[in-house]
Structure 1
Amino acid sequence: MNTRMPSFSRRAVLRSASSAVAATTSLAACGRGAAPSSSGPPASTSAAPSGARSATATPSAPPGTSPRRFPGSPRQIEHGPRDGHGVALTFHGQGDPKLAGAVLSEAERSGARVTVLAVGTWLDEHPEMARRVLDGGHELGNHTMRHRAVCAMPPADAYAEITECAERLRRLTGGIGSWFRPSQARTATRLVTRMAQRAGYPHVLSYDVDSHDFEDPGPDAVRDAVLDRVRAGSVVSLHFGHGGTRAALPAILDGLHRRGLRPVTTTELMT
């Protein structure tokens, strides 16, 4: 796979964005391995991708909406330091906003802070959720615009998925979000990682604990999937929009507390 960052013409990016809008949104789960793109880059020119400047401009971003660089950390982060007491509970942001709000409220009651990776179409439908996340002391990130298999998309389309969601976040919060996580992939390809960096995200956020809550196995199974694998520094993948996740959260938070582990935002985990 070609890992060089392709250049794009304005026409190529506009054409890819138009085709992305016409396609059907995928609702598949995110816990699958990244698939390499089988398509080569579009015809290249010396022009930068359309929208790159606006997506990365965050001069007045409030706390929690701008990415940070963590020197010495890999470009793709699966977990934080193992010698502390923090863990990061990360939620893929889409689904019923009332259920999402209930999850956030439960976390807040226990003093936990979480990271929400929002899907752009979800922000379009429920723009109030961006402020709800940040006002609760949590952090907000980018989970692509339409939740498609971004690592298997042609380069221009994949870049548009990242930057269009970044633009939604910028409009709503003043910044592009603290983190980028690829949709329908546990890890990003090298090309998608470089695209994310160009869009303004120094690191791609993966995870080392998969709750499999998107399969709706029941609250007990979600609880066990997390508590059987979590340890200091873990990044846990969870999802809004699933009743079993909401039901399992009190037991997860209690289990972490009993082990002396503290749920913090991913930025705090890495600091």
Structure 2
Amino acid sequence: MIETDRRSVLRAGTRLAAVGALTAGCAAPDRPPAADTPRPARPAPAAAPAPRRLPGLPAQITHGPRTRPRVALTFHGQGDPAIAKTLLGQAEEAGAKVTVLAVGSWLDEHPSLARRILDGGHDLGNHTLRHLDINTMSEADAYAEITGCADRLRRLTGSIGTWFRPSRTRTATPLVERLARRAGYPHVLSYDVDSLDFTSPGAPALTRAIAGEVRAGSVVSLHFGYADTVAALPAVLKELERRGLRAVTTTELLT
């Protein structure tokens, strides 16, 4: 009797093992733990457009076409980041786009501003690494100033930026122009309207200075970092609108 019971238990165990094997064979494939499950890749942020030569335009640009009602407000990127953000917000609220020529050391201190500028639909370019008098520098030092800022722009945005503007000068020497081309910038961006906002003339005087010179195709030089520029920009934008002029990026002005 005991032997019979033992054989019954063995047969039952064999049937359970077989069922277990069949069940295992039909089970869903193993899945990796939740922590290892790959997440959908986040889209990479748009990079700043790469510089390209614009046919028919000189190597050193001071203004755009006089036949279209557009102007470019260009800001030298340096100074208090709070002022920079305020100026960008003022422009965006008015439906305007601007061009920021950033100093490389400023980007080192405030790297998030590179993406803030691009995310607002503005142009971002190169205004040298340390904002020294580039026209008086040796060839090696001047080239290092250009490429130093370009490297920072590439690291932060994936591109060296759309434009190069030499520091502490309105126009570049032939040497600096050539070095800019070697660094990847086919054009040097100058300007035909100097706001002189860095002299802190007061908002009314600053507005009058721009209004007295600006016209279709103008490239206006302005700066981050000055309270007068913040106070004057809304009035400047309203004056442009009154004249039927639209503030656009330099890229849009020239293409």
Scaled by the length of structure 1, the TM-score of the pair is: 0.77
For residue 113 of structure 1, the aligned residue among 92, 97, 110 is 97
Correspondence for 1:205: 189
Correspondence for 1:74: 58
**d(CA) in 2 for partners of 1:63, 1:115:** 15
Percentage of identical aligned residues: 67
Letter in 1 for 2:55: P
Aligned runs of 1:1-271 on 2, under 5 Å?
62=46, 64-271=48-255
Contact 2:73 2:221 survives alignment (8 Å): yes
**1:149-205 per-position Cα deviation (integer Å, ceiling 9, x unaligned):** 001101100000000000000000000000000000000001100100000001000
Q: Give 1:63 deviation, angstroms.
A: 5.1
Partner SS state of residue 195, structure 1: helix
Q: 1:196 to 1:61 in 2, by over 3 A?
A: farther
Letter in 1 for 2:66: R
**1:32-89 per-position Cα deviation (integer Å, ceiling 9, x unaligned):** xxxxxxxxxxxxxxxxxxxxxxxxxxxx994533112110100000000000011000
**d(CA) in 2 for partners of 1:117, 1:199:** 16
Scaled by the length of structure 2, the TM-score of the pair is: 0.82
Contact 1:65 1:141 survives alignment (8 Å): no
Contact 2:48 2:157 survives alignment (8 Å): no
- Flag structure 2 segments of 5+ consecutive residues without an equivalent: 1-43
Task: Say which one has the larger Rg.
Answer: 2
Letter in 2 for 1:218: G
Letter in 1 for 2:152: R
Contact 1:142 1:165 survives alignment (8 Å): yes
- Flag structure 1 segments of 5+ consecutive residues without an equivalent: 1-59
CA RMSD of aligned residues (A): 1.1
Q: How many residues are paired up?
A: 212
Structure number with higher helix proportion: 2
**d(CA) in 1 for partners of 2:159, 2:45:** 5
Q: Give 1:147 deviation, angstroms.
A: 0.1
Partner SS state of residue 263, structure 1: strand
Poorly superposed stretches of 4+, deviation over 2 Å: 60-65
